[in-house]
Structure 1
Amino acid sequence: MVTFLKAVKSTLLIGLTLLLVSCSTKEDSAFRAQFIAYKALFIDGGRVVDTGNDDVSHSEGQGYGMLFAVAADDQATFDALWRWTKHTLMRDDGLFSWRYRPCADNSASCIDDPNNASDGEILIAWALLRASKKWGVSAYQQDASDIVRAVEQKLLVEHNNHVLLLPGEYGFTSEQEGKVSMQLNLSYWVFPAITELSTISASPLRWAKLHETGLTLLSNMQFSSYRLPSDWVRFKTTKMQRNDNQALGELTLNNVLSPEFGFNAIRIPLQLAWSQKAREDNALTDKLLAPFYAWWALTPTPATVNLQTEQTAEYPMTKGMQSVELAVNSIMKSKTPVWPEINRNMDYYSASLTLLSMLAVSDNAS
C-alpha cells in the first residue's frame, strides 16, 4: 500500500512539474514572439526609438529594452542596447542623460537634455542585475552596482525617517523662506527593482526605506473623488518638520508638471502589484489598489483624468494601459490575461507597457 501511494505521489508530482513547465514554456514563447515584433518596430542598432515622440530615445526606453531582451533570452540584443546606452547616454558620474534626439552625428552630441531621469537608472541597473543572473556574466552585476552607487550619491534624499527619490539630479528641488519644495514622480518608484537592487547595495537599508517611503507617499496621494495618484506631486515641508521623525510633509498638486493620473502614473498599480514585498501587507496593497479597480470599472475607461478639475480625456485607455489592468488583475485576482498584439498600430510606449505587464505576470507566476 505504501509503495502504491508513493507511486501515485510521484506520478502527481511529475504531472504537476510537466504542467508548470508547459505553462512556463507557453508564456515564454508568447513573450518572445511579442519581443520579436517589438525589436523589429522599435530597436535600431541598440537604440530604442520612441515612435510617439519624434523618434527620440531616452534612458527609460533603453532600460525597458534591456529588461525585455533578458526576459526573451536575447543576449545579442541586450549587449547592443547596453553598448549604445553606455557609450551614448552615460555621463561621467555614472548617471545617464535622459533624452537623445536624432541628429546628423548619431552620437552623444544628439543629447538635447543632459539631466538624468531616475527611472532610467533604476531600470537599466535592474536589467543588468537580471542579465548577470540569467547569463552568469559578472561584469553586468558590476555595472549595475556602479549605477546603484551613483543613484545613492546623487538621487536618494533622506528626510526625517524617510528616503525620497529625486526625479533628476537638478531642477526639482527648491528652498525658500524656510520651506523645502520638491517635485516627485511616484511612477519612478519601480518597487520590484528597488527590492532587487538593495541586494547589491552597500546600504540596503536605504533602499528598504525608499520602498517603504514610496508606499507611504502613495497612501497620501489619493487625489480627487477618484482617489488616484498623479503623474507628478509636489512635496513640501518646513525646517521645523524636518526635526520630526514621523512627519513626511505636505503633498499637493499645485504647480506640478502634470496633475493628471496619466501616462506616467499608469505604471504605479503595475509596479505595486508586481512587488512581492509590497504584497506582504495585503491590507495596505488592497487599499492602494482599490481606486484603480474603481477607475477601470468605468466603461470605457478614459486614458487620463486631471485630478484638480476631474476632467477626463475624450479617448479611452490605450492597449498598453489596458495591459496594465490585465496584469494587475492576473497577479491580484488570478484572472487569465489575453494580451493585445504588438504591431504597427502600437507606438513605443503602449508596446512597452504591454511587454512590461507580461513580464510582471511572468515574474509572479514563477
Structure 2
Amino acid sequence: MLFTKWLVIFMAALVLPVHAASDTDWLRYKQRFIQADGRVVDTGNQNISHSEGQGFGMLFAVAFDDPQTFEQLWKWTQATLHDEATGLFYWKYNPNAATPIEDKNNASDGDVLIAWALLKAGQQWDQRHYLQASDKILRALLKHNIVDFAGKKVMLPGSHGFTFASSMTLNPSYFIYPAWQDFFARTRLYDLQTLIDDTQQLMLDIDWGKRKIATDWITLYADGTTSPATQWPARASYDAIRVPVYIAWRNPDHPILARWQALFSPYNRLTTPAWEMVSGNQKADYPMSGGLLAVRDFTMGELSPSSTHISRYEDYYSASLKMLVKLADTGF
C-alpha cells in the first residue's frame, strides 16, 4: 500500500501540461500581471513584486506549456531576488523605493513555489538545469527554514524573525503539500514526508475556535500546543484561504477539509463572508468574490468553469487564486 501511494505521487510529478498556452485565462493573466522582463506585478499592492508572485507565474507557465514565459520569469527572479548567501529569494521587490530590496528576508512559500515550478519544468521539458536549480533551492530550504520544534518538523515563514524563546510563528498557507510530495518523489528525503505528516497533524490538533481551523498566522508553543498569533487578527482570511486548496490538491478526502466545508456551508454561495473570526460572531460585512469564491467552490465540490474565469478587472491575488484552483482541480 505504501509503495502504491508513493507511485501515484511520483506519477503525479510527471504529469503533462494540463492546459494549452492559448488558454484565454492564461493569456489574460500574462497580459495583466507579467511584464516583458519577467516581473510579476501585484496590482492590488502598489505594483510591488514578490517571490510568491514569481513562483505562481512560473508554475502557471509550466501548467500552460509556455517555456518562453517561464524562462523570462526565471531569469528576472534569479537576477533580482536571489540571495547568494542563503540560496533562497528575497521576498519583496518595490520598484518605487530607492532601494527596491529593502528587506533581506525570504518568504518560504515563494521559495517552495519557485523550486516546485523548476522541478515541474525540468521534468516536462526535459531540462536538467531546471532540475538542478530546484534541488539547490530545496537544500537551502532544508537548511534555513525547515526546523524541528515541539517534537514536530515545521517550515518557518522566513529565515529570520519567527522564532522566540518558547514559541514560533507559522503561516499554514505556506504549507504547499503537493510541492512537498513532488519533492519527496524526486529525492526520497524522509524529512519531507515527516514535514507533511507533522504539519497536517498540527492542524488536525487545533482545538480552538468555532471551526477548529487555522488562522492566517498561528503560534506554536514548545509544549506542542497552538493558538492564533497575536500579531494578526485571529481570523481565517486571505492567507488561510489557501490551506484547503493545498490539502485537497492531492487528498480530496482529508478530514481537515470537512472543517473548511463547515465554515462555508451555512451560507449561500454568493453571501459567504470573505473572512470570519475564529471566536465570536464577527465576520466580514462583504461576501467572497473572485479567487476567494473559487476556493470556496473547489472546497465544496461545486467548481464550475466560470468559477476560475479571470475577468479584465481581476487583481493579481484574486486571479492567482483562480489559476491555482484551476491547477488543483486538474491535479497538476
SS of the residue corresponding to residue 47 of structure 1 reads: coil
TM superposition shift of 1:148 = 0.2
Find 1:229's aligned residue among 198, 214, 217. Answer: 214
| Structure-1 separation of matches of 2:232 and 2:304 | 36
The aligned counterpart of 1:18 is: none
Are 1:61 and 2:36 matched, yes or no?
Answer: no
Give the partner amino acid of 1:121.
D
| Structure-1 separation of matches of 2:75 and 2:233 | 33
TM superposition shift of 1:200 = 3.8
| Structure-1 separation of matches of 2:102 and 2:272 | 35
| 5+ long unaligned stretches in structure 2 | 1-15
| Structure-2 separation of matches of 1:311 and 1:355 | 29
TM superposition shift of 1:198 = 1.9
| Structure-1 separation of matches of 2:291 and 2:229 | 29
TM superposition shift of 1:224 = 1.7
Superposition map of 1:110-125 within 5 A = 110-125=100-115
TM superposition shift of 1:85 = 0.5
Give the partner amino acid of 1:189.
F
The aligned counterpart of 1:207 is: 192
TM superposition shift of 1:227 = 2.7
Are 1:291 and 2:259 matched, yes or no?
Answer: yes
The aligned counterpart of 2:239 is: 264
The aligned counterpart of 1:37 is: 28
Question: Judging changes above 3 Å, is the alpha-carbon distance between structure 1 residues 271 and 216 closer, same or farther for their aligned structure 2 residues?
Answer: same
Question: Judging changes above 3 Å, is the alpha-carbon distance between structure 1 residues 39 and 232 closer, same or farther for their aligned structure 2 residues?
Answer: same
| Structure-2 separation of matches of 1:340 and 1:223 | 32
Q: TM-score, normalised by structure 2?
A: 0.88
Are 1:181 and 2:167 matched, yes or no?
Answer: yes
Find 1:103's aligned residue among 77, 96, 100. Answer: 96
Are 1:171 and 2:161 matched, yes or no?
Answer: yes
Give the partner amino acid of 1:353.
L
| Structure-1 separation of matches of 2:305 and 2:299 | 10
The aligned counterpart of 1:129 is: 119
TM superposition shift of 1:29 = 4.6
Answer whether contact 2:261 2:299 (CA < 8 A) is retained.
no
TM superposition shift of 1:266 = 0.3
The aligned counterpart of 2:292 is: 321
Are 1:312 and 2:288 matched, yes or no?
Answer: no
TM superposition shift of 1:32 = 2.2
The aligned counterpart of 1:141 is: 131
Find 2:322's aligned residue among 354, 360, 363. Answer: 354
Answer whether contact 2:21 2:66 (CA < 8 A) is retained.
no
Give the partner amino acid of 1:306.
M
Which structure's residues are more often helix, by fraction?
1
Give the partner amino acid of 2:131.
Q
Aligned residues: 312
TM superposition shift of 1:310 = 3.6
| Higher alpha-carbon Rg | 1
Are 1:339 and 2:330 matched, yes or no?
Answer: no
| 5+ long unaligned stretches in structure 1 | 1-23, 242-248
For residues 214-259 of structure 1, give each alpha carbon's deviation from its aligned partner in whole angstroms, at most 9, with x where no partner exists: 111110235422333200000111xxx5xxxxxxx11012523342
| Structure-2 separation of matches of 1:267 and 1:211 | 16
Answer whether contact 1:222 1:229 (CA < 8 A) is retained.
no
Question: Judging changes above 3 Å, is the alpha-carbon distance between structure 1 residues 327 and 265 closer, same or farther for their aligned structure 2 residues?
Answer: same
Moved more, 221-230 or 146-155: 221-230
TM superposition shift of 1:28 = 2.2
| Structure-2 separation of matches of 1:316 and 1:172 | 32
Are 1:153 and 2:143 matched, yes or no?
Answer: yes
